[in-house]
Each structure stands twice: as structure tokens, then as C-alpha cells.
Structure 1
Amino acid sequence: MVQSSLLEPIAPRKRVSVLLPLPFPAPLDYAVPEVLAGHLSPGDVVAVPLGGRRETGVVWEPTPLPADLAFPVAPEVAASRLRPIRERLDLPPLSRELRRFIDWVAAYTLAPPGMVLAMCLRSHLRSIQGSAPTAGWVRQGDLPAGLRLTPARKAVLEALSTGAEPLTTTELAEKANVGASVVRGLADAGVLRSVVIPPPPPFALPDPLHRLPVLEGAQAIAASELRGRVQERAFSVTLLEGVTGSGKTEIYLEAVAECVQMGRQALVLLPEISLSAQWMDRFTRRFGVRPAVWHSEIGQKARRLTWAACEDGTAKVVVGARSALFLPFSDLGLVIVDEEHEGTFKQEDGVTYNARDMAIVRARLAGSPVILASATPSLETLNNVETGRYRHLVLAARHGGASMPDTRVIDMRETPPPRGLFLSPVLVDGIKARLERGEQAMLFLNRRGYAPLTLCRTCGHRMECPHCTSWLVEHRRKHVLACHYCEHVEPVPQACPSCGETDSLTAIGPGIERITEEARSEFPNARILVMASDTISGPSATAEAVEKISRREVDLIIGTQIVAKGWHFPHLTLVGVVDADLGLGGADLRAGERTMQLLHQVAGRAGRAEAPGEVLLQSFSPLHPVMQALVSGDFAAFMTEEAEQRRPGFWPPFGRLAALIVSSEHADAADRAARDLGAAAPHGEGVEVLGPVPAPLAVLRGRHRRRLLLRTHRNIAVQPILRRWLAQMPLTSSVRVDVDVDPVSFM
């Protein structure tokens, strides 16, 4: 339950504001009926009328926000026009801290606050839809006069001695070795009294002393530093940077241990649900129990229990995806963002927010420390370290004396694969050598399916998605062509849809299925496991795959980015990157940084134990700065150069960005609205608008898209500019403008 100190009673008055989980720009005012006068507090969940229907909302009050984020004040509605609140629902209120967080996220992202509330309220409403309470039996006291004590009845009374914990009918009958009718007979005779048995805590308390790790040198110093941050009970941000295999997880779990020892709650955010499998094993080994888990794939019962346990404080540690930020923690004492650089922390649909950045806001509101962990920190985080906003801990060596892998670039111009194939002879020979020694190898290609493009050899027609400007990807195992943006799927046609020529369609380029086909031919005796979202769905399937690898039931792993992050495979000694140049093209601001981070993480899977590791990068651009940085292992120098390239143009992190995507089902309407928006673009010193131009994905899910980009100097906030700009642009119902503050994707 929410702490009573967080509830602020409302003095009797005639109106209150209610925030509804709907896309309104602000809360709506309602009249307070006489029966509720003086009985409402901010955070209370209420039922209100809206049009001809009933809606559930939350009593709201203004949140103090920085001037550049403050919402515009809506004109007050006359009291005579207010409709009354229908009732106050018997639900735990939303805490002041969570309400402030909702307002902050909405203000920063320019999302309707009701849509941010919806991410909390839907789970909140489900949290009370529990099952019926369990009934049990206790002894009433003295036996009634004249009660005949049969051996069966005597056995029941002995099983339920005075003062013992209540037992259910089934438990009592089994313990006394009698039938349930004997128990019910004693109840009818007044010997037993029915009581409600409280449910056991859904999550066992982690034991901070269960299995203490052996930490030495820089690890021990880092762990001590992080424990100290938790003990301070104050907001701070610390970057824990360490090479792959340096033990970052074990170190930040010591901060979790300190948090639990203090009786407070810790939140750990992971970028991928799939990563939770091995992470959970590490947590269980350290603390003796499993933590609470929160992500989209958990069932309703687990969701309900976790929400309630966060609210009453019995869930001491929660590990989850980005949506876990909106859980109702009663005493949040620590927030950890693992792999903080990952782009998957950015939610692109609905309310667009970066969970890494909003985690820092949530921690600041709670007055708790934040730990950002990564082997390849983002440039934004490194800049915050450089400017003194964040503390910095560095682990330069792998744990247990393991060495970093040797990285080499295979120049595909000099040692190309045979015609029609995609693995260089150098890479094939390297894998064969490892397999002959009984070691494991990995092939990495960040591209699902069999081939990224299918075209007609006769007329050149390319198979394109009918709803998006993207090529259809062949999935040969399923005999379909699929769009990875809108999920459109169609069978592979027998004839070209343009010229009608049969058997003329051919696959261009490799996807992971095609590489698997080639690997089975090159390594016929190898036990191959494919790890991609098409083949492994959910944490349980991922855990099973990881177990097979750990038990050495797999020789060759072939995977997409699912294999790149966080895994510890001690027998894996060779990683081959099939297309290291993938991701370097296009106009993406962060293309080099992202490719560097991804390939560095992939390379980090090799040689994490005693046997030395090797990484082979297939590239047509071996002199590219990313390839050279991977070979030298000098990530810091690469990021310094990347920063120097962005600084003169005030690109993030040295400036601020916001993307506006204008979309419509009609191209003319999108063009017209984008031109009007561009004509009204703000100007001034340190403010620039680029566009409008067609978005790289000019059509997505049937909507035509045009993009404008607002860029400002670092000391100029984009939110007030965006509000003024959008306020002067009335749009028709056929046109939508989506705002993305701090975009990480430019599609």
C-alpha cells in the first residue's frame, strides 16, 4: 500500500481535476458530490461520466515542473457545467511520486498525460482482480457438552492443536488421515471456526548474505563505491563501464544486496526480455531466490501479484523491461539500467520515451541512486561523465584472468567466398579448427530470414511490401515473404507478379536462414543452434537454448542480435561476423556508434574463460574507423573521435533534437501538412529546422510519412518551441503529427 505520508487530503470543495487514461491534453474538472466532500485525496481512483459512458480516472493535482516543461494552463470550466464524480473506487491510490513521474514523462515527451497514465492504470485495475480468499479452520475453545469424540474426530483435534496455524479442509483431513466430512461435522458442531488464511508473500525475501562473491582489486573497489551510493539514500548517477566479461552484473548486484539489506526496493531494467534467463540464474545463485519479473509476456496472475507486491513493498527486487518504470514502488532505493546504450530502451510506438533517461527521472523523484552499466556506453552518457554530471567506475580487465579476444578483419575483396556463398574460406577454416578441438563457435548476422531481397531475373521487379517502402524478406522455412515493419506476409509466388515469368524469382543477399544452410553444408557433423526471434520466442525458450549451449550440446551457434548481449558461454572461443559492414550505410546519425557497440558486444562473447578467444570480421571496408577500432580494441578513442565529429554541428549530445513525423493515408495530404508545418517553422539563434523531406520509410503501415527535424543548442529546450509551433498548425483528422523528442532512430 502507498505510505500514508504520500496522501494529501483535499479540503471540502466543489471541484477536483481527474486525469483519464485518454488522449486529452490535460485533466478534466468534475464536481464533488456532497457524499464525497472532504473524502477525496490526490491519487484516488474514481469513476466519472464522460459523454454517455463511465470512465475510470485518478484525482489529480498540478505537479511542479521546470518552466520549459510546464503544461499550458487550460481555461477553467464554469461550475454549472461540471458533471459530478460518480464514486470513489475501493482501490489503493496512486502515490504522489508515481503521479509526478507520469506528469514528467508526459511533459518531456509531449505525450498526452492520460496516455502515460494508461500505462499504469490498466495494470493497477487488473491488480485487484484476484481470486477468492482461502478459508481455513481453527479450534473454537472448549468442546461442547455431549460431543461424541470418535477416533476420527480426536485425530482432527490433535492435528489442529490450540493456537496452531489455520488449515484448509483438505490440509486438515490429510494431516488427520480422515475424510473431509469429519472436518465439516466438527465445524457444524461448533468445535471449529472458519477464518481467512492470508496468502503467502508472492516473492521470497532475497538474502544479501546467501553467497557472497569473491571480488578483488578494481571489482572490490567498484562494489564498495556502489554500496556507498545506496547507503547515502540520495539521488546520483554512476556509470559502471567495464569490458565484456569483467563482472559488471556481479558488481552491481552488490549494490542490490545493500539496498535489500536496508529494507528498500531495487529495480533492474534489461533491454531484452530474452536476457532475463541467464540473468535470473545469476541472481538466484547470489540471493537464493528469484526476483519479481515484469515484462509483456508474463501472465495476468503474475502481473497482478507483482503490481501489488511493489505497492506494499514485499517485492524487494524487480527485473523488467522498460514498462517496469511505471510500477508503484513504495520505497525505491536503487535503479539499475543494464546495457544502458541499447536502442531497445526507446519505445517507438504510443508514448515515445527512452527508458534509460526516464529511469534517471524516476530515481531523482525517489531520491535514489542510478547505476548505468555497459561495456560500450552511449556518447550521451560519456558526455555526462565528462561534464561531471555522472560518476564513473571503470573495469579494464576481464574477471578471473581471462583475456580479451584477438580481433581480425577478413578483407572480402582479397579472400572472397566462392560464388553464391557468403562465408570466406578464412572464416570457414577458423570454425573448422575450433570444432576439431571440441570448442564452440558462433556466426553472427543481424538479419532475419533467408534473404533480404527477392527480385525477378527477367524484368528486375523487386518484391516490395504493399503497405511500406521496404523489401519483402524471404523466409524459406515458412515459404513466405514478410515485411519486418508491418508484419505483412504473403506466399512466395511461382511467377513474377510484374512480367509473369515463372521460376524467375531469385534471392539476393544473405539472411540468417541462408547462412545456416551454408553452414550445414560446410560443417555437416556440427550440432547447430539458430538463435533469432523467429526461432526462439520468449524467456523460457531462450533459457532452454542457453542450457543446451552450456551443456555443450551445441557446436555452432548462428544468431542475430539476440546472441550479442550479456551471455556467458565459457566454451565459445570463435565469433565470426558475416557482414560487419551492415548498419554503416544510410544517414543515421548514430550508425558508426551503433555498429561499434553491437560488434563489440558480439565479439565479447568469445574467450570468456580459460581458452583464448578470436573474432573474425568479414568486411569490404577494412579501413573503416569502426573496423580499425574493433581491431585495436580502443573503444574510448573511437568515441572521442565520434564526439569531435558531432560537436561542430551541435548534434547530440552537444545539441538537442526532436523529430516530427507527419503522416496520412494520402500522400497529397501528408505533403501539404508537412509544407505548412515547414513554412511555420521556428527560427532564431541556436534553433534550426531541417526538412520537410520524405522519411527513409516513406510509407509505413499504409501511411505516407514526411519528416522534419528540430535542432537546437544544448542550452535551448525543445519542448516550449514544439508546443508553440504545433499550436499554430490546425490539422485535419486525416493527418497525424508524431513527436519524438531525443530520437534514436531516423526511419
Structure 2
Amino acid sequence: MPTETDHVLGEETGAVAATPRRGSRVVGVLLPLALFQAYDYLVPAGLELVRGDIVTVPLGRRSVTGIVWGDGAGDVAPEKLKQVTARLDLPPLPAITCDFVDWVAQYTMAPVGAVLRMAISVPDALEPERAMKAWQLGDIATAKTAGAKLTAARQRVVDVLTSSPPLPPTELARLAAVSAGVVAEMGKVGLLQSVPLSQKRPFGMPDADAAGPNLSGAQQKAADELSTLAPGVTLIDGVTGSGKTEVYFEAIAATLRAGRQALVMVPEIALTPQWLTRFEARFAALPAQWHSELTGLERRLTWRSVLDGSAKVVVGARSALFLPYRDLGLIIVDEEHESAFKQEDGVIYQARDMAVVRGHLAKIPVILASATPSLETIVNVETGRYRAAHLPDRHGGATLPTIETIDLRLDKPARQSWIAPRLKAEILQTLADGNQALLFLNRRGYAPLTLCRSCGHRMQCPRCTAWLVEHRFHQKLMCHHCGFDSPMPPSCPACQSEGSFAACGPGVERLAEEAEALFPDARRLVLTSDTVTGPAKAESLMRMVAEREVDLVIGTQIIAKGHNFPHLTLVGVVDADLGLHGGDLRAAERTYQLMSQVAGRAGRGEKPGRVFLQTYDPDRAVMEALKSGDRDSFLAAEADDRRQSGMPPFGRLAALILSSRDQAAVNAKAQELARSAPHRDGVTVLGPAPAPLALLRGRHRLRFLLKTRRDIAPQGVLKGWLRGQKFPGDLRLQIDIDPYSFM
């Protein structure tokens, strides 16, 4: 980590310190590094700087880009300071972006420079925009007089440009079916002339007044309320298939008419293809996108367009929240209950909650949409902090599916099988009727555990406290926590027995193998994050299902939400109990949400849908709630349990994860922290205890859990507890405010 001497003591680093003039201004420049404060720099004479300006400054022997964060702290002698090198020719980061970075850093207790790094995450976007070259026709007659010949290949190039605007070299070569060399040679002899070409943005300009679909009465009522663009948070609470997207599209249209930008956050990249199709049909253009699958050029162009305001609508993953919007007027969080909005690495934050903060700072509306809202959001509605718009019915006359449980204690699958006889019969009938079915199992790979029949050895990740998962499609073992993979060994590493490995339990690949045996004539498709590798692939696979090129879908949670398959009438959940194991305080709530979402894929067209949940405990409260559809009573009971135990949203939690490659160092530091743990009314410290993943990526881990009353901010307690603590060498402390994962 850079130290103060890196930027103020030019003599020690080899840089030349500025000679300050009397009254020289000092500014604080925040660098996108893991720093808790801005560094002071002198402003050269004649250079005017304001908060948000993007500048280059010296840091040691290198030049780095940073953001003017305000006036300098003034705690370093001016003669020891270096000067700002230059201000980049870009609009400054908006003040609201800077304020948001500050707020997130304080709340999450993360280095403010690390949060800034998320806002300026595309270094190339800070460089001057590169000029592209295009070719147009040159003076053909003059070139021929000078000896240039029009071969058949060259004539094809001329024919293309005769009826086309100037084209980039690769595009021109492709359309004319010639090599790049042919195009280049034509330029050299004057048959073609180069002209500058501005780079095309990877999005269009949405038309707010394009005709939208006919809305139902409930949809129109909700749309009218949202289109007022009043500041504050509104929940669209609508059953699956009720048309929530079309409702918040009307709020987007109102935002565009007001000349402002809109952000739509989605939890999964796989959700975007169908969403983009609907958006384009509504607004006659594609929005800007922001996710990990974009090319470097697309990221650069989109970042600059968000900053200059030309990107009017952005749809993206959680990181899209930190883009430098010139004039953001609306934020929408679709599927707001999804745990994918929680960032678990680096700066740890809950994007849904930070979206609410971003809206509050800017005094703009925030819309949360879900068929299964989180308990936190429901409580905020009940206490009047959030507004709510309800869509209780499916759009277009479709009905909600019926949900039944299959008791696996009574209706037992055959040995080494996981589909109960009842579910098998229902799928066979569905396929015979010409309809589609979905088998759902939220577990990737072939089997969650591989062991040796001879000695009992279990294949474990060498870097984590986790079993290796067999992925038979890829012919390897994988760790789903750190990404380690290896080929399946020919013999047991412990006893050297050959051919002794046994797969234990089902993954979705093994379920597909069983489905092939039970339904050999069905056209099958496996949908997991291993097969849906990006938006383009997702669009292709989802289209296959929608166009009935598939009879039976076997998938994980990637198929559970946002997709509309009108001919899918049956959903079978192979293991409805899967998410209920372990110590997650939200286990029942998450199970209800996931089961409801996957059930919502059935019966979205004219034909009614049916859902079967295979379970060993059909009398459990969450299963009863799913069968009856009584969500409110289930959530009320969950709320009572959490209220009595002081758990969120009625109390506050913060997790501290101490880790190192040296287990003894972790244990010693944990005991030191335990001895100084705070003890006061309304504050409880649990631990230290080994994390469920006690070894992760080669690091030994111990956890503390800080629990406070709702009126006590855990950040203040943590600051007092950790004041003066040192974490030398490989020791690392990770703080997670409002933890969602307890691994």
C-alpha cells in the first residue's frame, strides 16, 4: 500500500518537489487505491480545479490518475508537496458520485480509494477517444490514370462503397469478400481515401413516446403512481407474470421525457436477453449495458457516455450503480430480493441497499420490483418508509400454477435415482400432451461429493474446506469456492485403487443423465451457469426453449426468474429442502423466494401450470406456505422469529473475518481481539469460531459476529474495538456490514 512519503517527500522518492508560491492552493486528490484518505498536492499557477476533476499526479516514480476530492488537509509542509501534473479533458465526476463514494466507504468501513476504484473502473475511458479510420471512394479516374488497376476484387470494394457511407477497413473487407490487404493497397494507390470515423456507441437513443403495450387496470394504476417521479422508494409487489417490467417501463419513459438518465439493476446477466428484447420493443432502441461480458471497447464507450449523459438508460449488474451518471433521475432494482446483489469480495456492499442510499442522496425515485420481496423491504413498507404498488394477478388472464408437495419418505425414487414415481408420471403426461416441463435442482455439476469405495477417501479442494464437485460434462473436478480444478485421477490418491470412485448425491448433470434414461424421446437442454456463459449464449438457449425446440429443461437457479416460456406447464423441483440446511438466518425466506420464482415459470401462457416440490419434510412451514400461497402469513411468522431474537431487520449484524496462510498467527490475533471485545448493553460479540469454510483459497479463517440493537450502529462499535489494532504480515481483516453469507 502506498505511504504518505510516496507523494509528499519528493527528495526521498527521486521526484522533484514543487517550489510553492505564497498562497499556492493545496487540494486533496483521491487515488483509486486501497487508501483511507486523499493526498495533498499543490495546484500549479493558472490551473483551476474543482471537486470531481480528473487529474494526473505523481506518486513515487510513476504517474497516476486521481480525482480532486476537495481542499487539502494541510497537514504536510507546502515545500514537501508535489504538484498536480495535469487535468484531463473530461467532465468532472458529478458531485453526487463523489458524495456517494464517501457514504459507501463510511458505511462499509472500506478504504474510500477502493470505493472510488469502482466508479472509475475503466482506466482506458480516461484517455482521449481514439480516432478510427474509415474508407470512402477516392478519385478513381485520377488513380487509373496513374496506373492503378481495377481487378475483380477491387471492383467489389468499389461496388460496396458506391451505395454505402464510409466503412471501417474490416467491415469493408468483409462486405466485399476481400482480404484486408486488398483494401490497404487500394488506399495506397488512391482508389480509396481515408476519413475519420467516430466510434459507434453500443446502444441507441430510446424513444420515450414510442407506443407501449396495453396495460391492465392494476398495471395502469401502478404506472400512473410511479410516473410522477416523486423521490423515495416504491416497491412493485407483483406475482410472477403480473407485468412488473411493463409498469416500471412507464417510469423510465417519464424519466426520459424529463431529460434524465435511468438505471435498471438486474441480478443475473442471463436475465438481460429477454429483458433487452422487451425494452427494444417498447423504446425502439437498445439501452446501454454494464456487466462483465462487455468488451474493453464497449466498457470504455459506455463509461464515457454515462459521464457525458448520452447514455440515457443503463441496464446492468450491481457495479452499474457506481457509474458516474451525469444526471441520474431514476433507479430500478429488479428482483430486489436476490442475494446476487450482495458483493462479497473487495468492497463488501448490498447493491439494493446502496441503490436506496444513492436515490436518497440525489432525491430521486427508487423502484424495487419483486414477486417475493425481501423481509427487510416488506418491513419498510409496513412501517411507512417505502410506498408499495400491488399487482395481485397475472397479466393477460393467465393463472398462477398449483403447487403440490411429493413426500419422498412415501413416494421413494428408485435406488440411485432422484425423480419420484409421481413426478416421473406427471412429466410423461405433460410431454405426451405436447407441453414443456422443467426439472429444477439448484446444484451445479454431476455430484457434490466423490469418494473412494475402497478406503473412503473424499476428494477435497487442496485450498479450501470444501469437497471437489465432479463436472462430468467437462471431465474434471472443481471447487465452487476458489475455482480450483483438476482432472479426475485414474486411481485413489490415498489407497491407489483404480476404478473405485463413487459419485455421491445428484448434481444437475447427473439429473440430466437420469432424465435421458427416463424420457429418451424428449429433446433435453441443461441450463446452468456452466452452459449459459454470457448474454449471447443465454439469448440463444432461451430462444430455443421459447420456440419449442426443447421439450424438457433441466436447470439451476439461472432458469428460475425473469424468463417467459408460454408452453412450459410443469415444474418439478427435485430437492426443495436443499436450501434449508446450515445456519443461514434467511434460509427459509430464501427457500420460499427461490421455490416461488421457479414455480412462476409454469403456466404463463394460456394453459394452466402445475408445480411439484419433492421434499422429506412437507409439513415444514415454508412448504405449507408454498402450497397455500399464503406468503404474508409466512413472512409474518419469520418476522416474529427475527424480532424475538433481535436479528435483521430488527437488529444489526457485522461480521469480522480474520485470515492468514499462517494458522497460528490467525489463532493468536483472534484471541487478542477476543480479549478486547466490547461488552455493553445492546452489543453482543460471538466468536472467534472457525468459519464454515475454515480454509479458503489457502487462507485459514476465523469469524467474529457482532450483533447490536437496531439503534446502535455497528460501525461505531467496530471503530472503538479495532482502534490501534495492527495486522502485520499476511494477516488480513475483512469487515462485512449486514452480512448475507455466513461462510
TM over 0.5: yes
Q: Is the CA contact (8 Å cut-off) linking 1:664 and 1:703 kept in structure 2?
A: yes
Alpha-carbon distance between aligned partners in 1 of 2:672 and 2:184, rounded to the nearest angstrom = 78
Q: State the 1:300 CA deviation.
A: 1.5
Paired residues for 1:179-328 under 5 Å: 203-228=203-228, 230=229, 232=230, 235-328=231-324
Paired residues for 1:461-500 under 5 Å: 461-500=457-496
Q: State the 1:86 CA deviation.
A: 2.4
Show the counterpart of 2:558.
562
Letter in 2 for 1:57: G
Find 1:40's aligned residue among 35, 39, 49: 49
Alpha-carbon distance between aligned partners in 2 of 1:344 and 1:376, rounded to the nearest angstrom = 15
Paired residues for 1:289-438 under 5 Å: 289-438=285-434
Alpha-carbon distance between aligned partners in 1 of 2:168 and 2:76, rounded to the nearest angstrom = 58
Assess, with a 3 A threshold, how the Cα gap between structure 1 residues 418 and 185 changes in structure 2: closer, same or farther. closer
Show the counterpart of 1:159.
none
Q: Which deviations, in whole Å up to 9, do the C-alpha atoms of 1:36-93 show, x marking residues without a partner?
A: 3xx222112222222222222111128xxxxxxxxxx988223233222222233332
Show the counterpart of 1:5.
none
Letter in 1 for 2:489: P
Q: State the 1:201 CA deviation.
A: 6.2
Find 1:14's aligned residue among 18, 25, 35: 25
Letter in 1 for 2:342: K
Assess, with a 3 A threshold, how the Cα gap between structure 1 residues 86 and 209 changes in structure 2: closer, same or farther. closer
Letter in 1 for 2:484: H
Show the counterpart of 2:152.
none
Alpha-carbon distance between aligned partners in 1 of 2:262 and 2:587, rounded to the nearest angstrom = 33
Q: State the 1:130 CA deviation.
A: 3.0
Show the counterpart of 1:644.
640
1:111 is the counterpart of 2:103: no
Q: State the 1:467 CA deviation.
A: 0.5
Find 1:514's aligned residue among 497, 510, 513: 510
Show the counterpart of 1:61.
70
Greater alpha carbon shift after TM alignment, 493-502 vs 376-385? 493-502
Alpha-carbon distance between aligned partners in 2 of 1:666 and 1:285, rounded to the nearest angstrom = 57
Show the counterpart of 1:538.
534
Show the counterpart of 1:708.
704
Query: Over aligned residue pairs, what C-alpha RMSD do you find?
Result: 2.8
Show the counterpart of 1:614.
610
Show the counterpart of 1:658.
654
Letter in 1 for 2:106: A
1:29 is the counterpart of 2:44: no
Letter in 2 for 1:634: D
Q: Which deviations, in whole Å up to 9, do the C-alpha atoms of 1:214-264 show, x marking residues without a partner?
A: 112211111111112x1x4xx210010111011111111111111112211
Q: Which deviations, in whole Å up to 9, do the C-alpha atoms of 1:525-566 show, x marking residues without a partner?
A: 000010001122001111001111111000000001100011
Paired residues for 1:545-556 under 5 Å: 545-556=541-552
Alpha-carbon distance between aligned partners in 2 of 1:467 and 1:184, rounded to the nearest angstrom = 58
Alpha-carbon distance between aligned partners in 2 of 1:128 and 1:74, rounded to the nearest angstrom = 29
> What secondary structure does 2:262 align onto?
strand
Show the counterpart of 1:630.
626
Show the counterpart of 1:605.
601
Identity %: 55
TM-score by length of 2: 0.88
Q: Which deviations, in whole Å up to 9, do the C-alpha atoms of 1:500-524 show, x marking residues without a partner?
A: 2222221100000100000000000
Letter in 2 for 1:112: P
Q: State the 1:312 CA deviation.
A: 2.0
> What secondary structure does 2:712 align onto?
coil
Assess, with a 3 A threshold, how the Cα gap between structure 1 residues 616 and 79 changes in structure 2: closer, same or farther. same
Aligned residues: 687
Letter in 1 for 2:259: G
Letter in 2 for 1:345: F
Q: Which deviations, in whole Å up to 9, do the C-alpha atoms of 1:670-711 show, x marking residues without a partner?
A: 111111112111121111111110011110000000000111
TM-score by length of 1: 0.88
Q: Which deviations, in whole Å up to 9, do the C-alpha atoms of 1:466-515 show, x marking residues without a partner?
A: 10000110111222111111111112122222222222221100000100
Q: Is the CA contact (8 Å cut-off) linking 2:331 and 2:355 kept in structure 1?
A: yes
Alpha-carbon distance between aligned partners in 2 of 1:169 and 1:690, rounded to the nearest angstrom = 63
> What secondary structure does 2:561 align onto?
coil
Q: Which deviations, in whole Å up to 9, do the C-alpha atoms of 1:429-478 show, x marking residues without a partner?
A: 01000000000000000001110001122222211111000011011122
Q: State the 1:200 CA deviation.
A: 6.3
Q: Which deviations, in whole Å up to 9, do the C-alpha atoms of 1:325-352 show, x marking residues without a partner?
A: 1112111111000000000001111111
Alpha-carbon distance between aligned partners in 2 of 1:74 and 1:690, rounded to the nearest angstrom = 38
| Unmatched 5+ stretches in structure 2 | 1-21, 138-163, 176-182
Q: Which deviations, in whole Å up to 9, do the C-alpha atoms of 1:118-168 show, x marking residues without a partner?
A: 122232542545331568999xxxxxxxxxxxxxxxxxxxxxxxxxx9979
> What secondary structure does 1:22 align onto?
coil
Alpha-carbon distance between aligned partners in 2 of 1:316 and 1:297, rounded to the nearest angstrom = 20
Greater alpha carbon shift after TM alignment, 125-134 vs 647-656? 125-134
Alpha-carbon distance between aligned partners in 2 of 1:55 and 1:364, rounded to the nearest angstrom = 32
Q: Is the CA contact (8 Å cut-off) linking 2:88 and 2:126 kept in structure 1?
A: no
Q: Is the CA contact (8 Å cut-off) linking 1:201 and 1:314 kept in structure 2?
A: no
Letter in 2 for 1:30: Y
Alpha-carbon distance between aligned partners in 2 of 1:528 and 1:563, rounded to the nearest angstrom = 14
Q: Which deviations, in whole Å up to 9, do the C-alpha atoms of 1:75-116 show, x marking residues without a partner?
A: 822323322222223333211111111111111111101111
Alpha-carbon distance between aligned partners in 1 of 2:361 and 2:86, rounded to the nearest angstrom = 30
Q: Is the CA contact (8 Å cut-off) linking 1:450 and 1:476 kept in structure 2?
A: yes
Alpha-carbon distance between aligned partners in 2 of 1:436 and 1:239, rounded to the nearest angstrom = 41
1:89 is the counterpart of 2:88: yes
Q: Is the CA contact (8 Å cut-off) linking 1:127 and 1:305 kept in structure 2?
A: no
Q: State the 1:33 CA deviation.
A: 3.1
Q: Which deviations, in whole Å up to 9, do the C-alpha atoms of 1:263-314 show, x marking residues without a partner?
A: 1111000000110001001111111111111111111221122112212222
Paired residues for 1:164-179 under 5 Å: none
Greater alpha carbon shift after TM alignment, 195-204 vs 254-263? 195-204
Q: Is the CA contact (8 Å cut-off) linking 1:128 and 1:304 kept in structure 2?
A: no
Q: State the 1:576 CA deviation.
A: 0.3
Q: Is the CA contact (8 Å cut-off) linking 2:131 and 2:196 kept in structure 1?
A: no
